[in-house]
Structure 1
Amino acid sequence: MNFIFSSLLWFLPFVLLPFIIHLLNKRNVKTVEFSSIRFLKLIEKDSINKLKLIQLILLIIRTLIVFLIIIMLSRPVIKGLFAGKITDNNSTLSIIYIDDTASNNGIVDNNERKEYIDSFLVDVLNQIGDKSPIVVLTQSKGVVYDGIKSNLFNLLPIDISKSYGGIKDRIKIIENYLDYEKYSNIELFLISDGEESFFNLDDSDKLKLKDLYIYFLQIPSLINNYSITDVQISNSNISINEQVEFLVTVRNNGKNNIKNSLLEFKIDEINVGQQLISIEPNNSKVFNFKTSFPSTGKYQCTFNIPNDDNFLDNFYYYLVDIPEKLKIGLIDYNNIYIKEILNSINKNNKTIDIYNFNNEMNIYDIDVAIISSNTLLKDKLLNSYINDGGHLIYFPSNKDTDINQSIKNIYDTKSIITYNEHKIGTYNSISTNSTGIPYFYNSEKLNNKNNLEFYKYMTFNNDANTYLELENSKSIWNRYFIKNGIFDIFGFANDLNWTNLPLKGSYINFINKLINTKSNQFVNKINSGDNWKPNVDLNYLNKNLYYEHRDNKELISGKDTQIYIKSNGFHNINTNGQIITAIAANINLFELKNNILDEEDIKFIFPNNIIFIKDDVSNSIERSKYGYELWRIILYIIIFLIILEMIISNGKRFQSN
Structure 2
Amino acid sequence: MMFLAPTMLWGLIAALIPVIIHLYSLRHTKEIEFSSLRFIRELEYETIRRLKIRQWLLVILRMLIIISLIMMLARPVIKGFIPSWIASEKESRVVVLLDNSASMTMKVDGTSLLKTAKSLVLDIADIYDESTSFYCYQTNPLKQIYKGNPRDQSLKTSLEKINYHSSEDHLFLKVDSVLYEQDDFEPNKECFIISDFSKQIYKDMIDFSPMSSFLSDTEETGWRFYLIGQKELSNNLSLRGINILSQIRLPNSLLKIETEVINDGNKEKRNIPVELYINNDRLGQVVASFNKYQSKEFIYQAYPGLSGNIQGHLEIPDDDFVLDNYLSFDFTVPEQINCTVIGSSSEETFLLETALSAIDNQTGFLNIDIKLDAEPNRLLLGYTDVLILYNPGRLQPSVIEDIQMFLNDGGGVIWFSGDRTISHKDNFAIDALRLPRVKEIKALSGEAFFSVSVAQDDHPILYDLKLRHIDSELPQIYKYIDIIPPKKYIPVLKMNNGNPFLLEIPAMGGTFFYFTSLMNLNWNDFPVKGLAVSLLHRILLYLATDENNLKPVLAGEIKTVDIEDKELNSEWVVRTPSGMDFQLVPDYHTKQLKISHTEELGSYSIFKDLKPYTSFSTRLSEFEYPSQRLKKDKVLNIFSHNRVRWIPPQNDLKNHLKDVRHGSSLWRGFLICAILFFLIETILGRSKSKY
For 1:597, give the aligned amino acid: L
Distance 1:32 1:567 in 2: 98
What's the counterpart of residue 515 of structure 1?
A: 540
1:135-174 CA-to-partner distances (Å, cap 9, x unmatched) read 3322222123363236755213221122223225525522
Distance 2:393 2:78 in 1: 77
Query: Secondary structure of 1:131's partner?
Result: coil
Q: 1:4 touches 1:77 (CA, 8 Å); kept in 2?
A: yes
What's the counterpart of residue 553 of structure 2?
A: 526
**Is the aligned partner of 1:342 residue 2:356?**
yes
Selected match of 1:305 from 306, 316, 319: 316
**Is the aligned partner of 1:536 residue 2:563?**
yes
**Is the aligned partner of 1:126 residue 2:159?**
no
Q: State the identity %.
A: 21
Q: CA deviation at 1:316?
A: 0.8
1:63-84 CA-to-partner distances (Å, cap 9, x unmatched) read 2221221121111121234444
Q: 1:229 touches 1:251 (CA, 8 Å); kept in 2?
A: yes
**Is the aligned partner of 1:161 residue 2:142?**
no
What's the counterpart of residue 553 of structure 1?
A: 581
Selected match of 1:219 from 226, 230, 234: 230
Q: 1:167 touches 1:200 (CA, 8 Å); kept in 2?
A: no
Q: 1:324 touches 1:351 (CA, 8 Å); kept in 2?
A: yes
Distance 2:415 2:409 in 1: 18
For 1:25, give the aligned amino acid: S
Selected match of 1:623 from 635, 656, 659: 659
Q: CA deviation at 1:419?
A: 7.1
Query: Secondary structure of 1:208's partner?
Result: coil
Equivalenced residues, count: 648
Query: Secondary structure of 1:512's partner?
Result: helix
Distance 1:235 1:253 in 2: 29
What's the counterpart of residue 631 of structure 2?
A: 598
Distance 1:470 1:650 in 2: 112
Name which of structure 1's ranges 472-481 and 154-163 shifts more when overlaid on structure 2: 472-481
Distance 1:403 1:637 in 2: 98
Query: Secondary structure of 1:306's partner?
Result: coil
Give the number of the structure whose alpha-carbon radius of gyration is greater: 2
Distance 1:648 1:373 in 2: 117
Distance 1:593 1:215, change over 3 A: closer
Q: CA deviation at 1:241?
A: 1.7
Query: Secondary structure of 2:64's partner?
Result: helix
Distance 1:16 1:435, change over 3 A: same
Distance 1:339 1:427 in 2: 25
Q: 2:377 touches 2:398 (CA, 8 Å); kept in 1?
A: no
**Is the aligned partner of 1:585 residue 2:596?**
no
Distance 2:189 2:432 in 1: 50
Name which of structure 1's ranges 424-433 and 533-542 shifts more when overlaid on structure 2: 424-433
Query: Secondary structure of 1:202's partner?
Result: helix
Q: CA deviation at 1:259?
A: 0.7
Q: CA deviation at 1:116?
A: 0.3
Q: 1:456 touches 1:499 (CA, 8 Å); kept in 2?
A: no
What's the counterpart of residue 637 of structure 1?
A: 673
CA RMSD of aligned residues (A): 4.1
Distance 1:600 1:523 in 2: 41
1:313-333 CA-to-partner distances (Å, cap 9, x unmatched) read 211111121232223455899
Query: Secondary structure of 2:65's partner?
Result: helix
Distance 1:410 1:593 in 2: 45
Distance 1:568 1:653, change over 3 A: same
Query: Secondary structure of 1:562's partner?
Result: strand
For 1:555, give the aligned amino acid: Q
Selected match of 1:436 from 459, 463, 467: 459
For 1:55, give the aligned amino acid: Q
Q: 1:171 touches 1:205 (CA, 8 Å); kept in 2?
A: no
What's the counterpart of residue 111 of structure 2?
A: 111
**Is the aligned partner of 1:487 residue 2:511?**
yes
What is the TM-score with the length of structure 2 in the denominator? 0.80
For 2:124, give the aligned amino acid: V
Selected match of 2:195 from 168, 176, 192: 192
What is the TM-score with the length of structure 1 in the denominator? 0.84
What's the counterpart of residue 220 of structure 2?
A: none
What's the counterpart of residue 59 of structure 2?
A: 59
For 1:546, give the aligned amino acid: V
Distance 1:459 1:558, change over 3 A: same
What's the counterpart of residue 262 of structure 2?
A: 251
**Is the aligned partner of 1:569 residue 2:605?**
no
Q: 2:604 touches 2:615 (CA, 8 Å); kept in 1?
A: yes
Q: CA deviation at 1:557?
A: 2.0
Distance 1:370 1:585, change over 3 A: farther
Q: CA deviation at 1:652?
A: 4.2
1:193-342 aligned at under 5 Å gives the runs 193-197=196-200, 200-202=203-205, 204-205=209-210, 208-210=213-215, 211=217, 212-329=223-340, 336=349, 340-342=354-356
Name which of structure 1's ranges 338-347 and 273-282 shifts more when overlaid on structure 2: 338-347
Distance 1:145 1:511 in 2: 60
Q: CA deviation at 1:295?
A: 3.4
Query: Secondary structure of 1:121's partner?
Result: helix
For 2:367, give the aligned amino acid: D
Distance 1:377 1:481 in 2: 18
What's the counterpart of residue 365 of structure 2?
A: 351
Distance 1:434 1:338 in 2: 25
Structure 1: segments with no counterpart, 5+ residues: none
1:377-396 CA-to-partner distances (Å, cap 9, x unmatched) read 79998777666544466666
What's the counterpart of residue 99 of structure 2?
A: 99
